[in-house]
């Protein structure tokens, strides 16, 4: 863990990837709720501002997806156009999530 970085952001992103790769609905919903919780924890560590608002929006979006509500940011093709945090680390290998 390095200083000055929010450790909950990478955990929340990993939980979102786990939800995308889930084979059944129960696992997907659980991973989405876990991601929402981690986004809430990440937002608590930030000062009020742009990043905190982004993290809170990510938590709200994941809770809506877990409840089965349609994603308001979806472009109609099944993909979402969400605002993502630009991070300088490599993508997470899906085989290490379990």
* 8 Å CB contact between 35 and 62: yes
Sign of CA dihedral 23, 94, 31, 90: negative
74 strand-pairing partners = 80
pLDDT digits 0-9 by tens, 34-50: 999 999 999 999 999 99
Q: Per 3-state DSSP, what percentage of the chain is helix, strand, and coil (rounded to 5)?
A: 55, 0, 40
Q: What is the pLDDT of residue 80?
A: 46
pTM over 0.85: no
Tokens of 76: 């109609």
Indicate the pLDDT class of residue 66, thresholds 50, 70 and 90: very high
pLDDT at 83 over 70: no
């Amino acid at each position: 863990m390095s200083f000055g970085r929010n450790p909950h952001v990478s955990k929340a992103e990993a939980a979102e990837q786990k939800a995308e790769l889930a084979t059944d609905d129960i696992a997907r919903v659980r991973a989405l709720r876990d991601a929402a919780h981690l986004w809430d924890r990440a937002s608590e560590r930030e000062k009020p501002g742009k990043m905190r608002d982004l993290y809170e929006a990510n938590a709200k979006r994941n809770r809506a997806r877990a409840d089965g509500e349609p994603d308001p940011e979806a472009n109609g093709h099944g993909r979402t156009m969400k605002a993502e945090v630009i991070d300088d680390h490599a993508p997470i290998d899906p085989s290490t999530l379990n």
